Amino acid sequence: MATQHSRAAARLMISPSVILLLGWMLIPLGMTLYFSFLRYNLLMPGNNPFVGWENYAYFLTDPAFQSAIVNTLLLVGGVLLITVVGGTFLAILLDQPMWGQGIVRILVIAPFFVMPTVSALVWKNMFMNPVNGLFAYLAKALGMQPFDFLAQAPLASIIGIVSWQWLPFATLILLTAMQSLDSEQLEAAEMDGASPLARFWYITLPHLSRAITVVILIQTIFLLSIFAEILVTTNGGPGTASTNLTYLVYAESLLRFDVGTGSAGGVVAIILANIVAIFLMRMIGKNLDA
C-alpha cells in the first residue's frame, strides 16, 4: 500500500520537469519541422504556401551550406585535436608533484569561466588586431610583418580562440581521471624498466581513454553550436570563410528573415547533432548501470 502511495507521489514530483521539457522539445521542434515545408519570409507578408522539399533543396545545394559543413567539421575537429592533446599533456603535468599546484590549476582553468563574447573580443582586439594587437607588436619586435589573423585566417583564428576556452575543460576532466590512476601500477612498470613513453602508452592512455571519450563527445555537442565567437569576431566572413552551420541558420532566419530555409537548416543541424548524441547517450547510459 505504502509503496503504491509513494509511487504515485514520485510520479507527481517528476511530472513538472517532464511536462516542461516535453513541451520545450515538442512544440518548437514541431514548428521548425512545419515551417521547413513552407515558403515563409518575414519580409514578404501574405499566405505561406506549402512547398514540399523546396527549402531543403535550396539549403542543401547552397554553396554556403557546403562551406558551412566543412567549416563546422574543421572547427569541431581542430578544437578537439588541440584540447584533447593539450589537455592530456596538461593533466599528466599537473598530476606530478610540484610547488604551487593549486595556483597553477586555478590559472589553467580560468579561461573556461570567461564568457564567450568577452574572450572573442579580447582576442580579436587586444591580441589579433594587425595594428594595435600584441601579436602585431611581437611580430614587429621580431622584424616580421604583422599578420591580420581574422582577415587572412579567420577559421584558424576562431579555432584558436575556442581552443583557449575549452582547453581548461579537457584538462580538468582528464586531471580528475588521472587522480584515480593507481600510482603503484606506474611504479611497478618503472621498476620493470618500462620507458616513460611505454608507461604513457600502455598504462596512462588506456586509463584515460574513457575520460577522453567523454571529453570528445561533450565538447562536440557544444562545439557544433559555436555562435557568439563567430558573431563578434568575423560575422561569418570574409564571405563564408568562417560560417559554421549554426551561424548559417542564424543568418538565414534572423538576418535574411527566411523562416522556411532557416527552419530546414535547423532540421539538418538537429539531425547532425543527433548522430553525435546517440554515442554520448550510450556512454552515459552504461555508466548509469555501473
Partner 1 sequence: MARAVTQQRKAVNTAIAWIIGLLIFFPIFWTILTSFKTEAQAIADPPLWFSFDWTLDNYVTVQERSNYFRHFWNSVVISVGSTVIGLIIAIPAAWSMAFVPGKQTRNVLMWMLSTKMLPPVGVLVPIYLIFRNVGLLDTKLGLIIVLTLINLPIIVWMLYTYFREIPNDILEAARMDGAGLWDEIVYVLTPMAVPGIASTLLLNIILAWNEAFWTLNLTAANAAPLTAFIASYSSPEGLFYAKLSAASTMAIAPILIMGWFSQKQLVRGLTFGAVK
- Give the footprint of partner 1 on residues 139-198 (CB under 8 A): 140-141, 164, 167-169, 172-173, 176-177
Binder to partner 1 among 70, 81, 107, 188 (CB under 8 A)? 107
Query: Is 13 a binder of partner 1 (CB under 8 A)?
Result: yes
Report how far apart the first and last C-alpha atoms of the chain are (Å, whole number).
31
Closer to partner 1 by Cβ: residue 78 or 87: 87
Residues 200-259 that bind partner 1 (CB under 8 A): 210-211, 214, 218, 221, 224-225, 227-228, 231-233, 245-246, 249-250, 253-254, 259
Query: Is 270 a binder of partner 1 (CB under 8 A)?
Result: yes
Is the torsion defined by CA of 179, 185, 186, 187 positive or negative? Answer: positive
Of 59-67, 77-85, 112-120, 191-199, which segment contacts partner 1 by CB under 8 A? Answer: 112-120
Residues 63-102 that bind partner 1 (CB under 8 A): 90, 93-94, 96-101
Query: Is 21 a binder of partner 1 (CB under 8 A)?
Result: yes
Query: Is 284 a binder of partner 1 (CB under 8 A)?
Result: yes
Enumerate long-range contacts of 215-220, CB under 8 Å, 24 or more apart: 215/83, 215/84, 215/87, 215/169, 215/170, 215/173, 215/174, 216/80, 216/84, 217/276, 217/279, 217/280, 217/283, 218/280, 219/79, 219/80, 219/83, 219/166, 219/169, 219/170, 220/76, 220/80, 220/276, 220/280
As measured in angstroms, the least distance from the Cβ of 253 to partner 1 is 5
Give the residue from 246, 240, 242 showing the smallest Cα distance to 227: 246
Exposed/middle/buried for 17, CB within 10 Å: 0-12, 13-18, 19+? exposed
Binder to partner 1 among 14, 70, 198, 205 (CB under 8 A)? 14
Q: List, in order, residues 6 or more apart from 10 with CB less than 8 Å away.
A: none
Please tell me the count of residues contacting partner 1 according to CB under 8 A. 104
Residues 34-53 that bind partner 1 (CB under 8 A): 35
As measured in angstroms, the least distance from the Cβ of 150 to partner 1 is 11
